[in-house]
Structure 1
Amino acid sequence: MKPSKKPRTKSLPQLPHAKVSYQPPPNLRELMGTRIGEIKTNYIPYPDARDNNYTFSNSADTSCDDKEGHYVVRPGELFANNRFEIKKMLGQGTFGKVVSAHDHKNNETVAIKIIRAVPKYREASKIELRVLSTIKKHDPNNENHCIHLRECFDYRKHICIVTDLLQISLFDFMENNNFIPFPGSHIQAIAKQLIRSVAFLHDLKLIHTDLKPENILLHDSSFSKKPYNNSAYSKILKDPLIQIIDFGSAIFDDEYHSQVVSTRHYRAPEIVLNIGWSFPCDMWSLGCILVELATGETLFRTHEDLEHLAMMEKFLNKPMPLHLVNECYSKNEKLAKEKTNVELCFDPKTGKLLFPNKKTPVRSLKTVNSILSLDELISSKIGMKINYELTLEENFTVNNIKRLSKDKYRFWYYFIDLIKQTLTYDPNKRLKAIDALNHHWFDLGIYDEGTI
């Protein structure tokens, strides 16, 4: 049930980030007519290299790489012919490693993504460089919260991507804060920035495909401490300004789509069902992230398709639409060689999800049974019962909401509405980023730890 429109609430505080509107890139259609081609990386010769005409093989360069082609990071090491001094490793993934380093040329500290010295990862990095260059070209002032490429170079068989050095991720901040939920005002500010970022990327015909708290960094992780639940202290960010990072999996919509993308917990149903995916998958991931910020808990903590689908049905309190199940059967029958068997999760006649079945572990059954619906989950976190099947005014009456609590109740009621529209099964009916920017929730303010 769609809530009735309410007038803008100007008397309640909002953080500045929640008020900034999105401005699409000027002359976008004209600019997008010419797609950025392959980005050339400057080759930096290594003085001790015996042969610049290097041929890749299974054996790594033992002087700097491990057996998998990762660069061996040594804090204090001079890198790229003494221009950079490596400070510490920030992270490691399949693609390679990210380090912080002091740039002696510009006298500042930066982040360097050191791609593995393996041909397929070097080749994949070329796509990321095209994506980053496209973002910078159409947003030179970085108004849309997507990390900017500073430069790139090729050193000792490693493609190196240099960007600004930011601070910790939203996930790291939550972990350091004992996974205490963010204040509603901060969730709103982060949501507005994220949606602006996604709208910008989608305008550029780009899909991020891997939005998650680990890939959202803070500009400033400083905080104040405020009481929480009368027995603990919560860390409250002084400024929830964010930046989206890791475009290693991003693609242009008209280019090759791999079958599976996104980290499992943030993976959209169309990806799980193997029926094809596009821009809407980013909005599903965004909805999962916002719920996580509001609850402190990963929404779909699973690694298995059937359990994942069962968790979706329990949380959204509705079954998978039959037309999507039918499409799943149709698509997967045509992909015999790449058969995922996800269609076997459903009854072919009724489309009903076959969960639990005889092989379902007790652990899985308990996990799914513990899932609350969206209304129940948010209600449990804010201490106010919300029934989204009722109108806002009906909720006020049924739940005896006092006048002083109505603004807070209204804020979370419309938050639930936003989440329901982003976590819609059918990607064709899912809320688009450009439309989400005008959602009524962004007209509402709230008194909480982030605004008082």
Structure 2
Amino acid sequence: MSGCSSSSSASEEEDEGIDSYRKGGYHAVRIGDSFAGGRYIAQKKLGWGQFSIVWLAYDTQTSKYVALKIQKSAPQFGQAALHEIEILSAIAAGDNANTKCVVNLVDHFKHAGPNGQHLCMVLEFLGDSLLRLIKYNRYKGLEFNKVREICKCILTSLDYLHRELGLIHTDLKPENILLYSTINPSKDPIRSGMTPILEKPEGNPNGVVTINTIEKKLKQRARRAVARISERRASMGGVGLMPKPARSLDGIDVRCKVVDFGNACWADKPMAEEIQTRQYRAPEVILQSGYSFPADMWSFACTAFELATGEMMFTPKTGQGFSEDEDHLALMMEVLGKMPRKIATCGARCKDYFDRYGDLKRIRRLKYLPLDRLLVEKFKFSGDDAREFADFLCPILDFEPEKRPTAQQCLQHPWLNMNKQKNDETKIESRVGKLNI
């Protein structure tokens, strides 16, 4: 995780640790602290990432809540922040109406603290991540109408990034896509009617952390860990436990925005050879045969599958005599068919995994189960639903990147527009009915 999200669901699972608050590290923030000459007032910590911490702040100039992302102060983190600010500024400049489903950069500035100078980004406050939504739904698939609505938002953002800006996100996954608002209204500062804190609270003015507070945090963390394990087992139908049904998502706004551009790059200036989080990584990235916009499209398809089924599409593991990469390629082929020889034999790493015939060197027996059959047999989709969804996903999961449809083309796909078609058909039928009366 390059930075962390502008949301209520940035990485709060574990604590970032007191050791990181030192020269070159995080800036210690206390409730009521002010930034940018008093414009932004810190309200509560939202989460943290490898490079930064994120706080909910109140913007006294606009009277809005925002997410304040404060980068670590060491030079390499400053460079990473400058890169992200450049990308986010380009995104904001082309999206004046804020309709492209991409997080909006409000402001950026430098803040001097005891640990050094920190670059700060002010982003619009958003809600929970799609990963949190999947967990909230107990790892069951979301209903198709919700999946379609989410997919349209993601594709709108990818179309804008790819076609209009020439940007590759390089780390698209449920964790980096945030809902407009929180699942739980009480966690949303606006919907919960939270009164902004405009000055430092009295008592404990220096933000001294007491031993009791640390013990309390440790106990809370232990309870959360146990609850997470129990929830996961229950949702998967663990031994002796009744599987929990999916929750109703009625009333939850599933419109969303793509966030975290710390690893994004311009298509004509790729930055790293290895991009993307493992489970969402495209085959061309594994084989190091060069990547562009289609790599984001692969990650999108993996994300869409996860939304519809509740499970990751590919979860490779290291095994006896084979690597995680080779297992990943084998899992892809089991669902998508054999990789074309020209793809399997080109790329800096292809000889590590494939022989000259395009067969994997160390994993010889593959259990083929095409996507539509997998959806029926494992996830209990109806035949029609499985066929229609597979028809949407399979072209995006083509091993040949050039053959994958663009985000713009995907937005026109019949599967994404089924609701509209059904509504139109209903209207036509009702009109015909009236004419026949």
TM over 0.5, shorter chain: yes
Letter in 2 for 1:425: F
Question: Shift in Å at residue 178 of structure 1?
Answer: 1.2
In structure 1, the residue matched to 2:80 is 124
State the distance in 2 between where 1:432 and 1:275 align: 19
2:427 corresponds to 1:427: no
Q: Secondary structure at the match of 1:195?
A: helix
Could you say if the C-alpha distance between residues 173 and 443 of structure 1 is closer, same or farther in structure 2, counting changes exceeding 3 Å?
A: closer
> Which consecutive residues of structure 1, in runs of 5 or more, have no partner in the other structure?
1-61, 333-340, 358-364, 387-408, 448-452
Aligned 8 A contact 2:72 2:118 in 1: yes
User: CA 1:155–1:351 in structure 2 vs 1: closer, same or farther (change >3 Å)?
Assistant: same
Shift of 1:355: 3.7
Residues of 2 paired with 1:384 and 1:246: CA distance? 33
Cα deviation digits, residues 392-421 of structure 1 (max 9, x gap): xxxxxxxxxxxxxxxxx2x54222111001
Equivalent residue for 1:110, pick from 66, 75, 79: 66
Structure 1 match to 2:53:
97
1:319 aligned to 2:338?
yes
Structural RMSD (CA): 2.8
Deviation per residue, 1:63-95 (Å, 9 max, x gap):
993366122344454444544332333232222
Range moving further from structure 2, 96-105 or 145-154? 96-105
Provide the rounded CA distance (Å) in 1 between the counterparts of 2:182 and 2:335: 32
In structure 2, give the amino acid aligned to 1:326. Answer: T
2:328 aligns with one of 301, 304, 308: 308
Deviations 1:98-153 (A, max 9, x none): 22122234332110111111212211222211211111111101111001110000
Counterpart residue number, 2:353: 345
Contact 1:267 1:284 in 2 (8 A): yes
SS at structure 2 position matched to 1:235? coil
Q: 1:385 & 1:73 partners in 2: Cα distance?
A: 52
C-alpha spacing 1:230/1:212, structure 2 compared with 1 (3 Å):
closer
Question: Which has the higher relative contact order, 1 or 2, with Cα contacts under 8 A spaced 6 or more apart?
Answer: 1
**Matched residues, percent identical?**
34
Structure 2 CA distance for partners of 1:440 and 1:355, relative to 1, 3 Å? farther
Matches of 1:197 and 1:158, distance apart in 2 = 29
Aligned to 2:222: none
**Equivalent in the alignment of 2:224:** none
Map of 2:178 onto structure 1: 217
Deviation, structure 1 residue 265? 0.8
SS in 2 for 1:444: helix
Name the aligned partner's letter for residue 343 of structure 1: K
Q: CA deviation at 1:230?
A: 10
Distance 1:306 1:101, change over 3 A: same
Letter in 2 for 1:383: K
Change in Cα spacing, 1:97 to 1:183, as seen in structure 2 (3 Å) is: same
Q: Structure 1 residues 164, 312: closer, same or farther in 2, change over 3 A?
A: same
Distance 1:354 1:383, change over 3 A: same
- Paired residue for 2:196? none
**Helix, strand or coil at the partner of 1:327:** coil
Paired amino acid for 1:189:
E
State the TM-score, normalized to the length of structure 1. 0.68
- Shift of the 372–95 alpha-carbon distance from structure 1 to 2, 3 Å rule, reads farther
Q: Conserved in 2, the CA contact under 8 Å of 1:96 and 1:116?
A: yes
The count of aligned residue pairs is 337
Partner of 2:96: 140
How far apart are the structure 1 equivalents of 2:381 and 2:312? 21
> Is the aligned partner of 1:235 residue 2:259?
no
* Structure 2 unaligned spans of 5+: 1-17, 186-234, 236-241, 318-323, 423-437
Q: For residues 372 and 179 of structure 1, do their structure 2 counterparts lie closer, same or farther at Cα, with a shift above 3 Å needed? A: farther
Distance 2:178 2:72 in 1: 23
